[in-house]
Homo-oligomer: A and B are copies of this chain.
Amino acid sequence: MVAHQLAVKGAGDDGGVTVVDRLDHPIVLAPLSGGPSTPELAAAVATAGGFGFLAAGYLTVDAVRERMNLLRELSDRPFGINLFVPGGPADPAVYAPYVELLHAEARAAGLPVGEPRYDDDGWEAKLDLVTAEPPAIVSFTFGCPDSSVIQRVRQAGAEAWVTVTSPEEARHAARAGADGLVLQGGEAGGHRGSFDNRPELPTLGVLALLQLTADLGVPRMAAGGIATGAGVAAVLAAGATAAALGTAFLRCPEAGTSAPHRDALSSGRPTRLTQSFSGRLARGIVNEFMDRHDGHAVTAYPEIHYVTAPTRAWAREAGDPAWINLWAGQAYPLSRAEPAREVAERMIAELATARG
């Protein structure tokens, strides 16, 4: 139960020291919203000397609390919670034709399908939770919270980190008082954490992003296509405080990854960015659903997410990868079906070799 106490300090200054600097190894488990995130996975990475995040996205606040409690039972190491920052609802005129198509297709196949709806992913309740029982880091995705929110998190004793995908977003988050930045390169699997969800925004590689934000003086974690200790060494050499890895842990037994998703992760098929599943760009292994819909899918998050969620849940159960969002980063062929501790320890050994 001492985890959050480690984080009580004044970070966020130029070059400020964060809980990430005090890790045994600068390896961070990315949040992995949407199923793969589990307390067991976060605990295993923390036990190996890294840092684990729990995803709060898509869960009820009670489920998040339960997971935090379980993680605190499994490990006394510091950990982080990732929250989705709500955007606004999309215009129904924008998404209606795509929804109609998805409905028709699912019904023709005899599969469940949902209705478009907007919600804020329980923003206020989750903020209340993470400030009442603060983890070491609260990280934010899909936007930069107001300075007041960042201050509230810090006053509760946690660091506030913001996920960014461009130098402009990085500057915005630094000005808002973020203790640190998660730089997400275009290589990353899953959703782009950009502040707005226009698909035409530039997609910078993680190494370009690191160099273009070197002057900010804010601690940075690098994410996107990092799958080996050599990859970790690379982002550290480019100035990152730590590397955040998600896909590298998706095949671990501790992860909540579905069986067909695990299978796809050993397929070797290409990945690409798609907004077909959720109405927001995310990187996944190309499948039939993406091939059918990438040409006309629209930007409307989370409305489209709720339309496809029942179909995807059915397909995960049924073991049918053709209807599933098979999130994966560009380096996913290097992921292995090994216990998380082994993945982390191999990474740590490779990192030591790469650093000489």
Segment at the interface with B among A21-29, A123-131, A207-215, A301-309: A207-215
- A169–B334 alpha-carbon span in the complex (Å): 17
A186 interface residue per 8 A CB criterion: yes
The oligomer's copy count stands at 2
- Asked whether A233 and B226 contact (CB < 8 A) given A202-B270, A211-B331, A331-B212, the answer is no
A354 close to B238 (CB less than 8 A): yes
Instruction: Flag if B238 contacts A225 (CB, 8 Å).
Output: no
B208 close to A330 (CB less than 8 A): yes
Q: Which of A204-242 contact B (CB under 8 A)?
A: 204-208, 210-212, 214, 224-228, 230-231, 233-239
Q: A208 to B331, alpha carbons, bound, how many Å? A: 5
Q: Does A325 contact B (CB under 8 A)?
A: no
Residues in B with CB closer than 8 Å to A187 are: 204-205, 207-208
Once bound together, how far apart are the Cα atoms of A258 and B197, in whole Å? 35
A207 touching B186 in the complex, CB below 8 Å, given contacts A234-B237, A238-B231: no
- The complex places the Cα of A167 from the Cα of B329 at a distance, in Å, of 15
- A185 proximal to B (CB < 8 A): yes
A355 on interface, CB distance cutoff 8 Å: yes
Q: Are A205 and B230 in contact (CB under 8 A)?
A: no
The CA of A209 and the CA of B118, in the complex, are separated in Å by 38
A194 at the B interface (CB under 8 A): no
Contacts A354-B237, A355-B237 hold; do A231 and B211 have CB atoms under 8 A apart? yes
A336 located at the interface, meaning its Cβ lies under 8 Å from any Cβ of chain B in the complex: no
Nearest B residue to A215 via CB reads B334
A211 touches B227 (CB 8 A): yes
Contact A205 B206 (CB under 8 A): yes
Within 8 A of B (CB), among A3-62: none
Q: For residue A316, give the distance in angstroms from its CB to the closest CB of chain B.
A: 25
Of the candidates B167, B212, B226, B272, which one forms a contact with A207 in the assembled complex, judged by CB atoms under 8 Å apart? B226
How far apart are the CA atoms of A333 and B267 in the complex, in Å? 38
* CB-based contact B224/A205 at 8 Å: yes
- B231 x A334 contact (CB < 8 A): no
CA distance A84 to B309 in the complex (A): 48
Chain B residues closer than 8 Å to A185, beta-carbon distance: 205, 207
Tell me the A residues contacting B by CB distance below 8 Å.
Answer: 167, 185-187, 202, 204-208, 210-212, 214, 224-228, 230-231, 233-239, 270-272, 329-331, 333-334, 354-355
20 contacts between A and B (CB under 8 A): A167-B333, A185-B207, A186-B186, A187-B204, A202-B270, A202-B330, A204-B225, A207-B234, A208-B331, A210-B231, A211-B227, A211-B231, A214-B228, A230-B239, A233-B237, A233-B238, A234-B235, A237-B237, A238-B354, A239-B354
The 9 closest A-B pairs by CB, nearest first: A208-B225, A205-B205, A234-B238, A233-B237, A208-B330, A187-B205, A234-B234, A237-B237, A202-B270
